Chain A
Amino acid sequence: MVPVNYYITLSAILFSIGALGVLIRRNPLVIFMSVELMLNSANLAFVTFARMHESLNGQIFVFFIMAVAAAEVAVGLALIVQIFKTKHSINVDEMSSLKG
């Protein structure tokens, strides 16, 4: 059996890649994808610990996270479509009209 450490390490790596992606990419689609990556790294950790503790709680959390992530992406994609319609660009650095 693969030790838990490996899963955790993989989860950490995935989370770091996702976070890095959120911070450095300007395309909101890619940022969304990076956010999904971070969520799924968390899912991986949950599943790992659920397996380790032989408890279903972690599994159930993962379901919830996947549902919320799907909803989030739906809202986010709708927003991106609308922004593109008005600004003809989806560069996040140009989305600063709420700045004081």
Chain B
Amino acid sequence: MFLSESTITGFFFLAPWLVFAPVVGLLINLVFGHRFSEKAVGAVASLASGTAFVVSVLLAYSVAANHGELVRWRLAEWIHIGTLNLDWTFRVDSLSTTMMLVVSGVGTLIHIYAIGYMHEDVRFKNDVGRFRRFFVFLNLFIAAMMILVSGDSYMMLFVGWEGVGLCSFLLIGFWFEMDTLARPSWANSNAAKKAFIVNRVGDFGFLMAGFLMFWNLGSFQFDAVFKAAPALAETNPGLIVAITLFMLVGVAGKSAQFPLYVWLPDAMAGPTPVSALIHAATMVTAGVYLVTRSAPLYTLVPQAQFIVVMTGAVTALFAATIAVGQYDIKKVLAYSTISQLGFMVAAVGMGAYVAGMFHLITHAFFKALLFLSAGSVILGLERGHHHLAHAHHDEKHGKGVKTKHDDHHEEVFDPGDMRNMGGLRKTMPVTFWLYIIGTLALAGIFPFAGFWSKDEILLDAAKLYPQVYWLLAIAAFFTAFYMGRQIWMVFFGEARHEAAAHAEESPKIITIPLMVLAALSILGGALNLPYVHTLGAWLEHTVEIVEHEAPIAPWLEQSFGGLNIYVALISTVAALLAILISWLIYGRKPLKTGQIDPLKKPLSFIFTGMENKWFVDEIYQTIIINPFVKISQFLADVIDWRFWHDWFHETVIAGTYNWISETALNRYADQKGIDAFANGLGSVTQNISATMRKVQNGFVRSYALSVLLGVVIILGYLLFK
């Protein structure tokens, strides 16, 4: 049902299929999947996701055809209680269709990639049921994400928000009973739990924001909230600040911002397609989307905006420094994701919604590319390792020595550790070039996608918050540095492990989606080129862009259609310099097997800090988890067991009960009251009957005398009464 007054034509009636298509896909796989082959399962899931993409394209086209007008398509009534009116309404506007396109587009490519990846995963072991389950979860994720981005109210968004959180949990812990090397371990399920629990903290913030919103603004529906907000900002701006800051807690949880980012690096325990889809391209950007969607609220309270900006900027720099000291190929990318999300949050925080969304899109392209390429590298190393294991096996077999082919007995080989890699550009050329493209895009080298979007953020930051600009510029420098380090360590130099020397290129089903993503990473910048600003004009239909009147520094005044030559030069030079430095350290003299990181000596304790993630997990362990465990132990052992169970229940309640039942009721009430009464009744009857029995003496004449006496008495009574 259309909720807009004007007559609107287009494909809006297809909106529910954004959610239904993946749901249908997962139902088919769930019900009939046991008869399907792997390829069929993957094809069904990919088709379902592809259908959602087609629907997204049609919706975007319809929005464009209607000049960006908002269309709300109500599917069903949800909750109607008192003044609370919640419907399942699809909100189709330029912002939501942008998100839909990113989610379903990148999602479909990753689905296709996953068909190849999951088959080759060392942990797969031809378990088709597991394979099917993976694709069911992926489709469920797409459905939940679609609910999130298409929701017309904060509560509908929250449904999707929790849905993607659940999928994230399920997929991080997909190999819940083993670690990355297929050894029995709870590491993966612990990582999944960590992600879920940290996100609970964020969801608490989201819910508080929601409650405050409903209580003070009277609705959850976006337009109603935004309409009521300015009046409240006049009378009680503190409430708007509270709503936006509580919402920021939710954003920090879902979009992995400081200080709640700790779950994202651990989430790399999930299969690589999951890391790419959920923990890089789509789910973690939900927070950025939420802030953009709530732009009218944030615009009202500049002080809250400043806190959002600072959160983003600090996260961007902090995570970038940690990424420098990581050895796991996926961990580097995870911290890079956190850092880039910091860029986006900072951008949307300062009101640069277009720049933030632009970076969200390009980041989805190149970070998905990087993650998936990293997955390809890991698979390549696993193939090399497998090859070696077989070679050893054959050798031993040839000598007639009986050995079981068993990975457990071999040295522990981590295919994700960059210290085991090196020289892969010769063995995996396709992956190498794809990785280079992703790296250049992420580092922000002209003319790759990242250059345009990051520069837009930096320019806005330079105009509005000059201090934040420097934080972000330094973060961008670190970004280029750690990516350079990764390239030199992974693809250049000599192989530091035999597996790397025998690595093999991945099959086409893996590399073709990567090529599409690589093309998008190169060309993504075209979405919002200077002078043209396609994305800006597109999003302007939905997000009101407020022009700030703040005085800007003179060096920023010169602008080529929204591209400042100095800002662009500074970031490009910084990125190239960072790559040059990384070459000097890691490229000129490649690492040898077992050599420690060359940065460790000159930076000493600083590098130790980076290596150990600045000990944030340890700090959390000390200041939150340990006291929490202590308190819960105290509560369980002392309060619950000793106080409530041993003392209160055993002594007070059971004791009182026993006393009442034994002493008061049994001894006094029962024995002395009721028993005595019943016994007394019996003995009285006995006594009376013993007396009365004597009258019954058996002499007929005495009975006759009684009768006579009775008659005399009755007559006497009648006579003399």
Contacts and interface: CB of A to CB of B under 8 A. Distances in A.
Interface in A14-29: 19, 22-24, 26
B639 interface: no
Interface in B697-715: 697-701, 704-705, 708
A93 B701 contact: yes
Q: Which of B696, B697, B699, B708 has the most CB of A within 10 A?
A: B699
B704 A23 contact: yes
A13 interface: no
Contact of A92 (B697, B701, B705): B701
B35 interface: no
B399 interface: no
Nearest to A100: B696
A92 B703 CA distance: 12
B693 interface: yes
Nearest to A24: B701
Given A100-B693, A100-B696, 16 more contacts: A22-B701, A23-B704, A23-B705, A24-B701, A26-B701, A92-B699, A92-B701, A93-B699, A93-B700, A93-B701, A96-B697, A97-B698, A98-B698, A99-B696, A99-B697, A99-B698
B698 to A, nearest CB: 3
A56 interface: no
Nearest to B689: A100
Closest 10 CB pairs of A and B: A96-B698, A99-B698, A92-B700, A100-B696, A22-B704, A23-B701, A23-B705, A93-B699, A23-B704, A99-B696
B398 to A, nearest CB: 115
27 contacts: A19-B708, A22-B701, A22-B704, A23-B701, A23-B704, A23-B705, A23-B708, A24-B701, A26-B701, A92-B699, A92-B700, A92-B701, A93-B699, A93-B700, A93-B701, A95-B700, A96-B697, A96-B698, A96-B699, A96-B700, A97-B698, A98-B698, A99-B696, A99-B697, A99-B698, A100-B693, A100-B696
A100 B701 CA distance: 17
Nearest to A98: B698
Contacts of A19: 708
A8 B143 CA distance: 122
Contacts of A24: 701
Contacts of A26: 701
A25 B699 CA distance: 12
Contacts of B696: 99-100
A95 to B, nearest CB: 6
Contacts of A95: 700
Contacts of B693: 100
Contacts of A96: 697-700
A98 B697 CA distance: 10
Contacts of A22: 701, 704
A20 B708 CA distance: 10
Interface in A61-79: none
A2 B700 CA distance: 39
Interface residues of B, number: 10
A59 to B, nearest CB: 25
A45 to B, nearest CB: 14
Contacts, number: 27
A92 B698 CA distance: 10
A7 to B, nearest CB: 20
A26 B704 CA distance: 12
A77 to B, nearest CB: 16
Interface in B341-388: none
A93 to B, nearest CB: 6
A44 B418 CA distance: 144
Contacts of A100: 693, 696
A93 B705 CA distance: 14
A93 B456 CA distance: 136
Interface string B152-187: 000000000000000000000000000000000000
Contacts of B704: 22-23
Interface string A19-49: 1001110100000000000000000000000
B135 to A, nearest CB: 96
B703 to A, nearest CB: 10
Contacts of B701: 22-24, 26, 92-93
Nearest to B696: A100
A100 B693 CA distance: 8
B711 to A, nearest CB: 9
Interface in B671-706: 693, 696-701, 704-705
A18 B698 CA distance: 22
Nearest to A26: B701
Contacts of B700: 92-93, 95-96
Question: Which one of B697, B700, B705 has the highest number of Cβ atoms from chain A below 10 Å of its Cβ?
Answer: B700
Nearest to A93: B699
A79 B698 CA distance: 18
Contacts of A99: 696-698
Contacts of A92: 699-701
B688 to A, nearest CB: 14
A89 to B, nearest CB: 14
A38 B690 CA distance: 35
B167 to A, nearest CB: 92
A100 to B, nearest CB: 5
A96 B696 CA distance: 10
A99 B700 CA distance: 10
Contacts of B698: 96-99
B715 to A, nearest CB: 12
A22 B703 CA distance: 11
A93 B699 CA distance: 5
Nearest to A99: B698
A99 B699 CA distance: 9
A45 B697 CA distance: 35
Contacts of A23: 701, 704-705, 708
A83 to B, nearest CB: 12
A95 B704 CA distance: 14
Nearest to B708: A19
Contacts of B705: 23
Contacts of A97: 698
B709 to A, nearest CB: 11
A97 B704 CA distance: 17
A19 B706 CA distance: 12
B62 to A, nearest CB: 109
A23 B699 CA distance: 10
Contacts of A93: 699-701
Nearest to B700: A92
A42 to B, nearest CB: 13
Contacts of B697: 96, 99
A59 B698 CA distance: 38
A15 B460 CA distance: 141
A26 B701 CA distance: 8
Nearest to A96: B698
A93 B703 CA distance: 11
A26 B699 CA distance: 10
A99 B705 CA distance: 17
B48 to A, nearest CB: 98
